[in-house]
Structure 1
Amino acid sequence: MIKKFKFFYVLLLFIFINNDLYSFDKKGNASFISEIKTGVVAHDVGFFGRQKEEGLDSTFEFLFKKIDYNLLWLGKPRPHFGATVNMGGDTSQAYAGVTWDYKLPKRMFFNFSWGLTYHNGNKIHSPDNVITDKKELGSSILFREAAEIGWNFYGKDSISLRFDHISNANLWGEDANEGLDTFGIVYSYRF
């Protein structure tokens, strides 16, 4: 599993180095990447359940330009992908989805994200081998929701508080759906 996350980091590094993906091309048009986020979040804060895992997570995320056409009642969200890596060896995740942005007064903003995540944590414990310090998440692919409130400063920079929750929505039964919550601070740069 660690090899998969190393591959993900190398892929992200390639994106930064590749000349074709600079934030603005020679004509001044923005590239398809519109924002980069990075931060530190508390792992498994237990907001929607018991806290079992611990430590800090390093998080990073790429957001793309808004979808050009209106998706009926969904509006025009921005696609995103990212990862949250636990620094203590507990559950890490790679995720993708869409983000809706809402501007608030005084350079404040609110974002809501929804998508899917792939994690390297436990799915279902065997009755013979119950691990009490690991979450039982039910499946490798889970739903992910995130809410973020922040403040924009210097035009392109922002700082925010973000909460996210991953879970299987009880599709595999409540016993195999402990869910996992993170909460922390995120820095963003918009191109």
Structure 2
Amino acid sequence: MIGRLTGVLLSKQPPHLLLDVHGVGYEVEAPMSTFFRLPAAGETLTLHTHLVVREDAHLLFGFGSMAEKTLFRDLIKISGVGPKVALAVLSGVSVEEFWGTVRSGETGRLVKLPGIGKKTAERLVLEMRDRAGVTSAEGTVAGLPAVPFGALSEARAALASLGYKPAEVQRLSEAVYKEGMTTEAIIQEALKRALR
């Protein structure tokens, strides 16, 4: 799996961009939310990536933030939502707006996005409700106080992605966190505590 790329941005023609990584040109598709933040051609760029392998193609998708990549991965797990629709969602609403829509149950905003009809919007809200707010633009977890993006918020997001509920994530992370701990140390200690 290709999880991240850092290289020189050669060209950008939405939704495609070409990234030169040590002489290898990677064709990457990205949502407009990422395109809006791209540097000029010729500058260095780092993208979080997700590789989709199909019988007829290998497709590489790139994102400017881990929150976008995580939401993309959550979206393509939903029946009837493929990578193109997931890119359309990320191009039309921010990560925070999407989770807010899911939490409120309002499908009107989603229906306005290309490829999203009423039934798909309702399915997204219904199936994503359990995960609503697991990640946000700042890397926070639903129901938890916002903390600056760093080791604690990354650890919380990782614990939530492992299936722990927000209350459990907060309890575990607060119980083990000490100033200066790395993300990995917080996760390891939290997992040890969860198994007690």
TM-score of the aligned structures, taking structure 2 as reference length: 0.25
Of Structure 1 and Structure 2, the greater strand share is in 1
Task: Between the two structures, name the one with larger relative contact order (CA 8 Å, sep ≥ 6).
Answer: 1
Which structure shows the bigger proportion of residues in helix conformation? 2
Tell me the TM-score normalised to structure 1 length: 0.26
